A = this chain, B = another copy of it.
Amino acid sequence: MKLALISALALLFAVSAHAEDGYDLWLRYKPVEKPYLADYRAEATSLVAGDTSPTLDAAKDELVRGLSGMLGRTPALTPSVVKDGAIVFGTPAQSGEIAALHLPLANLGAEGYLIRSARVRGHGVTVIAANSDTGVLYGAFAFLRLMQTRQKLDALDITSTPRLKHRVLDHWDNLNRTIERGYAGFSLWDWQKLPDYLDPRYRDYARANASIGINGTVLNNVNAQKEILTPLYIAKVAALANVFRPYSIKVFLSARWSAPIELGGLKTADPLDPAVKAWWQAKVDEIYRAIPDFGGFLVKANSEGQPGPQDYHRTHADGANMLADALAPHHGIVMWRAFVYSADVREDRAKQAYDEFKPLDGQFRPNVLVQVKNGPIDFQPREPFHPLFGAMPHTPLMLELQITKEYLGLATSLVYQGPLYEEVLRADTYAKGQGSTVARVIDGSLDGQTETGMAGVANTGTDRDWCGSTFNQANWYVFGRLAWDPYLSARAIAREWTEMTFTNDESFVAPVVDMMMDSREAAVDYMTPLGVSHQMATGHHYGPGLWMNDNPRPDWNPSYYSRADKNGIGIDRSASGSDAVAQYAPPVAAEYGSLDTVPDNLLLWFHHVPWDYRMKSGRTLWEELVAHYTKGVETVAHNRAVWETLKPYVDAERFEKTDAYLRIEEKEARWWRDASIAYFQSLNGLPLPPGEAPPEHSLAYYESIEFPFVPGHF
C-alpha cells in the first residue's frame, strides 16, 4: 500500500508538471493545509441538491471541483440531509430542503445569494440559497472563496446582492483573432471552428467570469466588422452563447452602424429612415431566434472614423433609440459609448463627450445606457473622473474601465488597477452635494436609475495564463468584484485575489498586497506624473514618445498633451484656458480650477505652469517632476527586490515569469524616466536636481528607437 501511495504521488508529480501555468486563475482549489483541513472536511461532507438545471449543475460541478481539490476527497451527493456538514444549495422552487427552511430571500433580488449555517433535522449544515439558479451559482463560488481565503465556516450568515445590473466584459477582438489593445495573445474565439467545435476553454472562461459575478460579454471589437451580423457568424455566436448560458453570461455584440448599407444593400444608415429601422428590426429578430437571451448591442459611433447617426445629421440619441426600439421587445439593451473623438479637432479634446452628450440627457430610451470611460481622455494612468458622471441625471450611465493595460505597460508591467478603479468610483461629483460619488451615479442610487452597469475592456487572450501575466489576472478579478459591489476596497480585493491565486501564507500575502497597491502610482510616476497624460509613443502606445509631433491630427501627438515648452508645461483647462473645469459641478470646478486647491496629481491636467513654479512641497515643479520619475523607477526596483525574497512561496514557473516581467518593467521604467527627462531638458535647458542621475542615453537615441511589431496594435 505504501508503494501504491508513492506510485500515485509520483504520477501526481508527473501529471501536474504543467499545473502551475496560471491557467486555473484564482480558482486553483489547492489542498488546504492544517489546521484548517479537519474543520473544513467536517463542514463539507456532502452536497445536497434539489431538481437540476444547467446552472445548478454548474454550481454543483464547481462545488465538487473546489471541495475535491481543497479537501482531497470528493463530497458525497445526497438528495436530502443525512449527516452533519452537508452543504444544501438551491432555490425554494427546486429544493424541498431549501423551501422548508423559509429563508429570508425576499431582498436578494434575482442574482443575490444567502449563505448561512443552519440545522436540518438535527444536523449542522451550510445553506447556499437564492431566488434563482444564478444566485445559487454565485453563492457556490462565494462559499468556495470563503474556504480559499481560510474563513471560519461554522457560524455563517452572509447575504450579497450585486449593486449593478450589467457587469460586462468588452472584448476588442477582431474576427481574424487579432485583438486591439490585446496583450495576452489572440482572441479566445476560434471563429473558424465554430459552431461545430467548442473549445473546453470557453467553459473555463465562463466559470472564471461567473466566479466574480460578470454576467455579460461583448464578443467583438467596438471598431466593429459587419460580418459578425451575417448568418454565418450569428450561428457561431449562438454556439458560444450556449456554452455561456449555464453560467448566466449573456452575449452582446458590437454593431457596425453602416451594416444596413454594407450588408443590407440600403442606400443609407439614417436612423430615422424606415427601411433602416426595418433592417435592424429584422436583424435583431434573426439574432434572437438564434440566441433567445441575447443581451443587445454595444455601439461606437461617430468616433475615430466609425460611421454613426451624425453622418445623417442625427444625434447619438436618435441612433441609440432606433436600435433600442428594435431590441426592446426582446428585453435587449443598447450600450452607447460616449467616447466620441470626431474628425474635426477641438480646442480641447477632453471636452467633447460632455459637449455632445450632456444636451441629450433625458432623450434616450429606457433600455439605453450611455457608456462613459472613467476619465475624459482615454484610460490614462491617471485622469480626473469624467465630467459626464453626475451631469446626466436622467440617463443611465455605465462606467467603462480598461482592464487591458494599453497605457500601463502592456502585458509585462505589474500594475494592479484596483486603486485606479477605486479612485474613480470614490470620486465625488458633487452633482447632488457632497457624497455624490461616481459609484452612486453608476449604481443608480443617486438618480434612481434601474438600468445600471460597468464594462471592462477585457485583457484575456489565448495565452495560457489568460491575461499575459499572473498579476494581470488580478485586474480581471478586481473589475468583476467592483462591478458586483463598487464600494469594496481595492486592498481587500487584492488580498483576496492573492490568497486564492498563490497562497494564504501571510509572509507572502502582506508584501504582495503592498506591492500591488503601490504599483499603479509607480506607473503614474515613471510615465506621466503630476497630471501629465498621453506621452506614450503614437499608435501602439508602447514606451515614451513625448517628442512625437508628426501626426497630422494634433490631438494624436504627445506634444498636444504636455504643452511643454521653454517656459513651462501643462494644459490650462481653467477658466483662463479651455475652461474644461466648467463641465464639473461648482465645488469640483472650483477645486480643480484653482492653483491653490488643485491636487498635485492633477496639476498639469488642469494648469499650465512655469518650470520654476513652487509646489506645496517647496520644490520647483521641475524638481518635483524629476523626483516623481525617479520615485516610479525606485518603486519598481523595490517591488522586484521584494518579489525575489518571495521565491520560497511560489512555484517555479510563476515565480520566474513574474521575476522576468519585473526586470522588464524596471528597464522600461528607467527608459520612461530617462527619455522624459532628456526631452524636457531639451526644452527647458534646466540642470538635473542634485543627486539625480542623468539619462542613460541622448534624446536622439530615444527618438531613434522604433518598435514596429508591438502587440495589440491591429
Chain A interfacial positions (CB closer than 8 Å to B) = 1-2, 4-19, 21, 23, 29, 31, 65, 68-69, 72-74, 175-178, 183, 185-186, 191-193, 196-198, 200-201, 227, 232, 410-412, 462-464, 653, 657, 660-661, 663-664, 667, 705, 708-711, 714
Contact = CB atoms under 8 A, between A and B. Distances in A.
Contacts of A4: 5
B664 A462 contact: no
Contacts of A201: 464
A8 B1 contact: no
10 contacts: A11-B72, A14-B68, A18-B23, A178-B178, A185-B185, A193-B412, A196-B661, A232-B705, A462-B462, A462-B463
A5 B1 contact: yes
A6 B661 CA distance: 39
Contact of A227 (B65, B177, B186, B708): B708
Contacts of A193: 411-412, 660-661, 664
Contacts of A12: 8, 11-12, 15
Given A186-B462, A197-B661, A663-B196, A14 B653 contact: no
Contacts of A14: 29, 65, 68-69
Contact of A709 (B13, B73, B191): B191
A73 B10 contact: yes
A65 B18 CA distance: 13
Contacts of A709: 175-177, 191-192, 227
Given A175-B708, A176-B711, A197-B664, 20 more contacts: A1-B1, A10-B72, A12-B12, A14-B68, A15-B19, A17-B65, A18-B19, A18-B23, A21-B200, A177-B709, A178-B178, A185-B186, A185-B462, A186-B186, A192-B709, A193-B660, A193-B664, A196-B667, A200-B653, A232-B705
A710 B201 CA distance: 21
Nearest to A65: B14
A482 to B, nearest CB: 29
Contact of A711 (B13, B29, B192): B192
Q: What is the oligomeric copy number?
A: 2
- Among A1, A11, A183, chain B packs the most CB atoms within 10 A around the CB of A11
A74 to B, nearest CB: 6
Contact of A72 (B7, B175, B708, B710): B7
A11 B30 CA distance: 9
Contacts of A31: 11
A414 to B, nearest CB: 13
Nearest to A712: B192
A10 B75 CA distance: 11
B7 A73 contact: yes
A11 B69 contact: yes
Nearest 6 CB-CB pairings of A with B: A7-B72, A197-B660, A8-B8, A15-B16, A175-B709, A14-B69
Contacts of A1: 1-2, 5
A4 B5 CA distance: 7
A183 B18 CA distance: 24
Contacts of A711: 176-177, 192
Contacts of A8: 5, 8-9, 12
A125 to B, nearest CB: 23
Nearest to A227: B708
A191 to B, nearest CB: 6
Nearest to A73: B10
A310 to B, nearest CB: 28
Contacts of A667: 196
Contacts of A23: 18
Contact of A197 (B177, B657, B705): B657
Contacts of A653: 200
Contacts of A16: 15-16
B73 A6 contact: yes
A5 B664 CA distance: 44
A171 B19 CA distance: 28
- Among A19, A197, A462, chain B packs the most CB atoms within 10 A around the CB of A197
A142 to B, nearest CB: 21
Contact of A196 (B200, B410, B462, B664): B664
A408 to B, nearest CB: 15
Nearest to A468: B193
B13 A68 contact: yes
Nearest to A7: B72
Contacts of A185: 185-186, 462
Given A1-B5, A68-B13, A192 B411 contact: yes
A60 to B, nearest CB: 16
